[in-house]
Structure 1
């Protein structure tokens, strides 16, 4: 073949073969995409597989034209199976798309603002607890933290159940007052 400014010269037979192959590809593309859409999850996947199949078919353009259709669909099925094997090995079913249409993913951890607010509330609660009278704080913590009943606290501290009730009531009232003021300062 002689090389000229436009590249290798094609013979008339080669040009006819190329035109016949291009015509075949054009005539088969839409049917191939529909065939693949019935077997894939999305139209985009079907389009990609069709393009891949048609690209692979180029290797066989020298074969007899009556074999192209069978080859094309065999190539498409093989490409579909290859993609399925790759997807399975990469756990594609567990893949979450981060496209704009996707709803925001819920974080497993609280946001920075939530953590900061929780830390501030915990600090306020700690300050309020430390400001309780000693006996009142001790009885309140035995009940709320240690999970002791009023009767158990009374026996543990050597006081009556009625006295335990008064200490718990006083602790709750003081905490409500002190933490209530905190909540009105923090939240508008």
Structure 2
């Protein structure tokens, strides 16, 4: 190849084109943006591709000034095609911008104050449960957490169904009292 460029011109043969190149870029930016706006869905995409195209064109600033326009639009078309391939391979058309649609999203999360109140209520309940007598707490948790029936608890613990009923009643009364006392203490 002997150092010549792909289009047959000698790189560097137009040395000193910097002022002319800068003028070309300024003059072409508006037309390039108009060209890109017709081919992309957003102003932001048009601006991005125009910027990318102009930056890539810098590599060719030493070529003949007559070639800059065709090079610029070839670069822009290639950038459009690259972006389309990337979008297709990443299913970009299936994505929703949260910036544009955030106002329409409803959160199922509780607000911060409600979450804190629930955590505090849970801590109070846990403290009240831990304050129950061990046997009473075990029977209550077998019923309420494990879902066991009174006869199942009786068989599991080796006690009568009547004893299970008494322990459950006692646990409920103690929990009610402790939770009410804690609520009044706040």
Deviations 1:47-74 (A, max 9, x none): 2321332344352574363x54432211
- 1:5-16 matches, cutoff 5 A: none
Query: Taking structure 1 as reference, are residues 102 and 135 closer, same or farther at Cα in structure 2, changes over 3 Å only?
Result: closer
Find out whether 1:48 has 2:74 as its counterpart: no
Matched, 1:148 2:148: yes
Deviation at 1:35, TM superposition (A): 2.8
Q: Is the 8 A contact 1:139 1:164 kept in 2?
A: yes
Residue aligning to 1:139: 139
RMSD over aligned Cα, in angstroms? 4.8
**CA distance in 1 between partners of 2:88 and 2:181 (Å):** 57
**Which residue matches 1:18?**
20
CA deviations on 1:131-150 (whole Å, 9 max, x unpaired) are 33444323212212333211
| Residues 56-75 of structure 1 mapped to structure 2, 5 A cutoff | 56-57=56-57, 59=60, 62-63=63-64, 65=66, 67-75=67-75
The residue that corresponds to 2:160 in the other structure is 159
- Please report how far the alpha carbon of residue 75 of structure 1 lies from its aligned counterpart in structure 2 after TM superposition: 0.9
Give the deviation of 1:159 after TM superposition: 0.9
Q: Which has the higher contact order (CA 8 A, sep 6+)?
A: 2
Question: SS state of the match for residue 124, structure 1?
Answer: helix
Distance 1:88 1:48 in 2: 18
Change (3 A) 1:31 1:182: farther
Partner of 2:169: 169
Which stretches in structure 2 are left out of the alignment for 5+ residues? 1-15
Any idea what the Cα deviations from partners look like across 1:98-127, whole Å, max 9, x if unmatched?
98x978xx9x9xx8x968973x55553343
Distance 1:25 1:172 in 2: 81
Measured at CA, do residues 181 and 53 of structure 1 come closer, stay the same or move farther in structure 2, by a change above 3 Å? same
- Structure 1's unaligned 5+ residue stretches are 1-13
Measured after TM superposition, the shift of residue 167 of structure 1 is 2.6
Q: Distance in 2 between matches of 1:84 and 1:37?
A: 14
TM-score, with normalisation over the residues of structure 1? 0.55
